[in-house]
Amino acid sequence: MRTLTLLVVLSISACASATEPALPPVAQVEALTPTSFTATVGAEVAPPPRIRVLDETGHPIARMPVTFVASEGTILGESGVLTDGAGIAAVSSWRLGTKAGLQRLTVRAGEQTVEFTASSAPGPVASLEALDGNGQVGVPGAALRIRLRVRAADAFGNPISGAEVTFSVLDGGGAIASPTALTALGGVATSGDWTLGPRPGSQQVIAQTSGAHVVFTAVAFACAGCQQLLFVRNGNIHRVDLATGAVHQLTLDGRSYHPAWSPDGQSIAFARFGTGPVPPVDTYLMDADGNDVVRVTTGETFHSPTWSPDGASIAVAGDWWGCVYYCSIYTLDVGSVAQTFRRVAEMGADPAWSPDGTQIAYVSLSGDDGYHAVHVTSTDGAHTLTVVPRDVGGIYGLSWSPDGQRIAFSQCSLGGCDIFTVSASGSTLERLTATGNAVTPAWSPDGNYIAFTLRGNFTMEGNIVLIPATGGAPVHLVTNAHSPVWRRR
């Protein structure tokens, strides 16, 4: 009985197979809807692509597997279907991706394909991004060095060309030359020159187009005697002329730091480091154009120079390479052939000579990580005053106000550094920033501003910015730079 049952099953199976003939080879896949579309990014293509599969005699093939493969980013209703009795297959939906450009949908049946293409254009303007010209500093009534540039994009970040952007003064007076511009390839539009108004302080321009706007801020910087600034970039000392923005590289060795401008503006003292695991460092002089370099010390590990107001002497830190745990403050005469070093203070770093020439401020070291204080001593070291008491933080980069009433410095604690000022007597302490990455302050010659380094993470390199001496929002001065020093004359 079991043998008979098996024979019956096999007979039925054979009959069923005979009723389903194999599919013929596919000779053609023809499109029944347009193969080229133009649409906005993210839009759904209508009508959805539809095809018919034919054999070599031109007859439709039913129940033929068909696959739909789209460009990356597009969304399909399904990726595989079977043709119906008329040999037709369709994808239920095809939504374009969010990246503008040509997008493709390839339909395959057997060994034959047909391709649909969609040219996806950006959507309407959704954002304007400030590319250049924000945060500049200039002279009241003068044109800024960098023109304003914006980038127009849709909601998905695709740049939009041909959009009209209008630049207009929002605050502070002044004017924009050629205030209307069309975005070019890449979605970028550029204004004409921005001429600042006559009033010192913050000024603003708004760039706007249908659907978006962005505000540019500049500072009309009325500072007597603030024409030039020294800074360090990639181990070399540079000079920037703030009126024109022109930058001049003064050293080429890649190992020059701690610039200090002489009171008459004719000479620059600086430290040059050698090579090796513990490189030697000495103090040098050069003229304001970087010429006539003269080595002042040899093998003494003296760095961080600061000039006396009469230009006759320099105070330096020395005795230990990095002045992290131990150092001393010395003075030496600039014009002396046989140098005589006079020690002013032990356990001191970052000296700063007072404007009246009678005192030297310095960071008092603790012999440990941090726990610094700020001391002010007479130039012979006989009388010392504590103006910032010792605590857990580290203190760096002292700078006197031009009137000698206050000292700016950077204090670092719990991984963050900010700019503070203290009265020369130590009676009042004020915090000026809350950025967590502010170091190397430098008081402007007129006493109204403080430039400092807004550094990157775990590096001294950053940008030099400017704030009012009473505090305020930082304004950009120099990119990829640190350790600013003003020319006083």
pTM (two decimals): 0.68
Picking from 342, 355, 332, the residue whose alpha carbon sits closest to that of residue 263 is 355
User: Taking the mean position of all CA atoms in its chain, how far away is CA 285?
Assistant: 33
Mean pLDDT score, 231-256: 91
Is the pLDDT assigned to residue 273 strictly greater than 60?
yes
Q: Evaluate whether 307 touches 399 at the Cβ level (below 8 Å).
A: no
Confidence tier at 15 by pLDDT (50, 70, 90): very low
Picking from 317, 252, 272, 261, the residue whose alpha carbon sits closest to that of residue 484 is 261
Residue type, 43: A
Distance CA 112, CA 94 (A): 21
End-to-end CA distance of the chain: 119
Is the pLDDT assigned to residue 460 strictly greater than 80?
no
- Angstrom distances, CA of residue 154 to CA of 212, 371, 394, 446: 10, 52, 47, 46
| Residue 470: Cβ-neighbour burial (10 angstroms; 0-12, 13-18, 19+) | exposed
pLDDT in tens, 440-452: 999 999 999 999 9
Mean pLDDT score, 33-52: 93
404 φψ region: left (φ > 0), alpha (ψ -120 to 50), beta (else): left
Phi then psi dihedrals of residue 114, to 5 deg:
-140, 145
Distance CA 447, CA 226 (A): 10
pLDDT in tens, 50-71: 999 999 999 999 999 999 999 8
Distance CA 420, CA 347 (A): 22
Mean pLDDT for all residues in the chain: 90
- Angstrom distances, CA of residue 414 to CA of 267, 349, 369, 436: 38, 21, 12, 10
CB count in 10 Å sphere of residue 345: 21
Helix (H, G, I), strand (E, B) or coil at 6: helix
pLDDT in tens, 302-346: 999 999 999 999 999 988 767 888 999 999 998 765 578 899 999
Distance CA 442, CA 302 (A): 21
* Structural domains of the chain ordered from first start: 24-121 (2.60.40.10), 127-220 (2.60.40.10), 228-486 (2.120.10.30)
Beta bridge partners of 257: 271
Q: Ranked by mean pLDDT, which of 337-341, 347-351, 365-369 comes out on top?
A: 347-351
pLDDT at 459 (0 to 100): 59
Beta bridge partners of 136: 218
Within 13 A of 65's CA, how many CA atoms are on the CB side?
6
pLDDT at 300 (0 to 100): 77
Distance CA 56, CA 32 (A): 18
Mean pLDDT score, 160-183: 95
